[in-house]
Every structure is written in C-alpha cells, then in structure tokens.
Structure 1
Amino acid sequence: MIKWFAAVVGYILFRFPGAILGFLVGSFIEAAMGKNKISFTKTFTQEQQVSPGDFELNLLSLSSIVIKADGSINQTELDYVRQYFVSAYGKDRANATFKTFNEVIKNREISAQRICSFLIPRTRYASRLQILHFLFGIANADGRVSEAEANEIQSIAGFLRVGFSDFESIKAMFFKTADHAYTILEIEKSATDAEVKKAFRTMAKKYHPDKVQHMDEVHIKGAEAKFRAVQKAYEDIQKERGM
C-alpha cells in the first residue's frame, strides 16, 4: 500500500521518473516495517523457556519452603523429594542434586515471590498447576497436609498467578471433604447435571497430561494422577446423583 501511495506522489511531483523512485522508496519502507513487525511478534509471543538446571533449583527452593512451613523438617517429606529426583534424573544425578537441596533447605532467606516471578514468564500455566500439585504431594507425604503447609502453597499459587478456583481444585485432591468432588470440578453442589457434565469436560481438558508433555516424566505422572482425580470426582458425583 505504501509503495503505491509513494508512486502516485512521485508521479504528481516528478512525473514518470518520480513514480519509479516513489515506488522503490515505498517498497523499501514496507519491507523495513514488515521486518520490524516480525521481530516484534517473535520477541513478545514466544515463551521464554527455563533451563532444566534453573527449573530444578527453583523447584527445590519452593519445596524447601513447603517442607519448613510447619516449623519442622519431616524426613518423609524429604524422602518424597529425593524419590522425585531419582525417578526424574537417575540415582547419580539425584544424589548430586540432593546435596544442593540440603544446602537450600537450610537457607532461611528464600523468597517465594522472587522465585515465582522468575518462573511465570518461563513456564506455561499448565506447568504451574503441576508445580502446585507436586508441592501438595510433598506436604501430603507424611499422610496429612497441615494448615501451615496449605497456606504456604496458597501463597505460592498467588505468586505464580494461579487462579483461586484452580488452587482450590488441586487442594481438594488432598483434602477429602463432603463436597470435595464438586470443588475439584470447580462447581457448586447446586449445579445442574448438565453443568456437572460441562465442568467435567472443561477440567479434563485443563488437566489433561498432554498439557505437560514438555516436562519430565515424574511431572507427567503427576499430571496423570491429577487427571484421574478429576475423573474420580465426576464418577463420585454421577454415583451420588444416579446420573
């Protein structure tokens, strides 16, 4: 468009030679604008990827915050984290990583907000949901999630910009209450059967393991567990209502 406008202006001013010159100048301007547009788009739409090493260290730091939340370091919870790294990276690398973890867990200056600010632009929303599921898994390793641990994970969820309903959904997978199946599906108990079915489809899509295929095998298995919890919640509601 610019090149033709420039050609017309050139013709008005300098006749045929001006039209040619205007066309060439306009073409150059269009090409430059197109190049800048592509560069701008690539810069602001491509997700920044976090390196495996950085992800490990930040996940270790968040894990240590949860483990220390209730004022004591539980060996069962430590073993849960260790088993995660053995499953994900093998025994040798896990041993090396766990040495770092022992140093991290003694550090009282860890900032969850700073860690989450680093992770937000470098991870997908589905990945951050899986991080929360993993943290709840740590807290639940000793058989129960304490109120202090749940509050700490809720703070981390806020820093990770995870929606409240999504946080409550994952939390309900570890807290068995009378209405936890509805909470997992992010609906009220008063929801109609049609709304229950719609909620199940929505949550099954949100928590589908395919969403975290870019993560390591342990997180994929965690996503599968989360997906099964959604299916179980739906089945429980179906049974309760005779659907």
Structure 2
Amino acid sequence: MSFAKWIGGALGWSFGGPIGAIIGLAIGSLIDGTAQQGGFLLGDGQTSRKQSRGTHNKRPNYGKQTQRSQTQSGDFEVSLLILASVVIKADGIQDQKELDFVRQQFVSMYGKERANHAFRLFKNISQQQIPTRKVCMQIKQMMDHSSRLQLVHFLFGIAKSDGIVVEVEVKQIYTICGYLGISSRDYESIKAMFYNSSDNAYKILEITKSASVDEIKKAYRKMAKKYHPDKVIHLGKEHQQGAEEKFRQVQKAYEQLQKERGF
C-alpha cells in the first residue's frame, strides 16, 4: 500500500484542522521510508477505506458547528497519540515507564508491527508544541461522548503507569476533560478507577455516600449503560479492551456496595 492510499483511508475527520496539521508535521520525516516499505501507520487500511470512502477528502469547517461523524479507529488513534504526548510532558519529564506503557498498550491493541509504526509517529508528535485547547475542541466537535470517555481512561492509565500520579498530570487531564466537554462527575468517576480510597465505589457510580439502596441500583444501571463496551464498537475490537475495563470497574464498585450495604 502506498503512503498516499494509507493517509486517505486510515483517517477521516482528523485529516483536517489542528490535528491534521500536527500529524502532517509529524509524518514529514517518516513519509519516505513508509512509502518505500509500502506500510502504514494507523488503521487497517482496507477496512478504514471502506468506512471513509467519499468523506476523507472533505475537510470540515472547524469554525462552525459541524455534525458529528462516526469516529474511525485511525481518528481515535491519532487523537490518543497527541493527548498522550501532552500528559506525558505535563511534569516536564518524559518518564520511560510512561513511554513503555504507551507502547505496551498499543501492542496489545494493534499488534507489534502497527504499534511500532504508531510509536514512531508518537515520538515525532511529542517533539512538537501541542495547541491542547484547539486539538480538544476538534475532538469534542467530531468525536462521540463514549469515545471521549475512552480517551480520558487511557490518559489516566498513562499517568498511573509509573506508579505515581503527580498533581501536574492530574491538572492536565482535568484541563483536557474541560476542553473535551467531559463533566466533572465523569472525570471523577474515571479518576476513581485508578485510586484506592474508601469512597471510590461511590465516585465510580457518580453518587455520594448518602445514596439510598435504590439510588445505588439506579446509578449502577446508568453507569453500566454509559460504559458498556458496545458504546465504542465503532472504533473496532482493538479499542474495546479499555471499555471492558471501565465496565468491570463499574461492576466491581456495585458489588462492593452490595457487600457493604447488605443488599
């Protein structure tokens, strides 16, 4: 596959706007080698071309409200790469454990070859000054809520990968959530999945300790629906693993409260 065919097939809405500019700059040093190898960086090529046929040449007007299109695996992937670089650099240090976490996650999701390509692109992205607000506004405008929640879950995983979540990283993720249109309750729910405290189960279910049994049951049904893996099925099986982890955390929180409350 030529590079030109890949770039037209693996990316949809992220081909334009500030994300497109970042990706374009990042692939500048990679394009010759990739084209010679006939390889690709993101997406699976054939599947992505079918999904984006007739749309990838249209660049949306990000100055106006644009109808949200279905996010493809490649769109999610480049968004993930860019925001991951922002979080990793939040404390001024690119910790090797955090970099290893990103690589390991990509290997588990995409396989070694595709992960290696993506990580090469990630390293080029991390050398840039990222306009975080503009990038997040593009993602907010074009990506559905469930997929944005999945991005946040991955970002907390990066921050926790070195064993310590420093305050500057938490603040950076909180800022990103604000730009992405993620509510403070959703932010606290996902954050609680990466911490151990006495009220984590309540935070994950987005309720307080004063909640009644009926309110706990109602909250569980609501959160199970919100975090169900099928919500991100359009991103491909590779991205459902993280969604399944969130879903398990909701179930675990509910089971913990069942035991504590005796119902």
Among candidates 204, 225, 238, match of residue 258 of structure 2: 238
Q: Which moved more, 1:88-97 or 1:61-70?
A: 88-97
8 A Cα contact 1:84 1:218, kept in partner: no
Q: Which segments of 5 or more consecutive residues in structure 2 lack a partner in the other structure?
A: 1-64
SS at match of 1:115: helix
Could you tell me which residue of structure 1 aligns to residue 143 of structure 2?
Answer: 123
Shift of residue 51, structure 1, vs aligned partner: 5.0
Indicate the residue corresponding to 1:177 in structure 2.
197
1:189 equivalent among 209, 232, 243? 209
For 1:77, which of 87, 90, 98 is the aligned residue?
98
Q: Which residue of 1 aligns with 2:233?
A: 213
Deviation at 1:77, TM superposition (A): 1.0
Which segments of 5 or more consecutive residues in structure 1 lack a partner in the other structure? 1-43
Structure 1 segment 89-168 matched on structure 2, within 5 A: 89-107=110-128, 109-168=129-188
TM-score normalised according to structure 2 size: 0.71
In the TM superposition, what is the alpha-carbon distance from 1:73 to its structure 2 partner? 1.0
CA distance in 1, matches of 2:75, 2:246: 25
Aligned residues: 199
Which structure has more helix as a fraction of its residues? 1
Judge which range, 146-155 or 53-62, deviates more: 53-62
Runs of 4+ in 1 over 6 A off after TM superposition: none
Higher relative contact order (CA 8 A, sep 6+): 2
Q: Deviations over 1:136-194 (max 9, x none)?
A: 11111112322111111111111100111011100111121111110110011001111
Could you tell me how far apart the structure 2 residues matched to 1:204 and 1:54 are? 25
Matches of 2:196 and 2:150 in 1, distance apart? Answer: 19
- 1:145 touches 1:174 (CA, 8 Å); kept in 2? no
One-letter code aligned to 1:48:
S
TM superposition score normalised by structure 1: 0.77
8 Å CA contact retained: 1:50, 1:119: no
* 2-structure distance, mates of 1:89, 1:239: 38
Greater radius of gyration (CA): 1
| Secondary structure of residue in 1 paired with 2:119 | helix
Percent identity of paired positions between Structure 1 and Structure 2 = 55
Q: Could you tell me whether the CA contact under 8 Å between 1:88 and 1:216 is conserved in 2?
A: no
Paired residues of 2:71 and 2:235 also in contact (CA < 8 A): no
- Contact (CA 8 Å) 1:80, 1:138: kept in 2 or not? yes
User: Aligned partner of 1:173: which letter?
Assistant: M
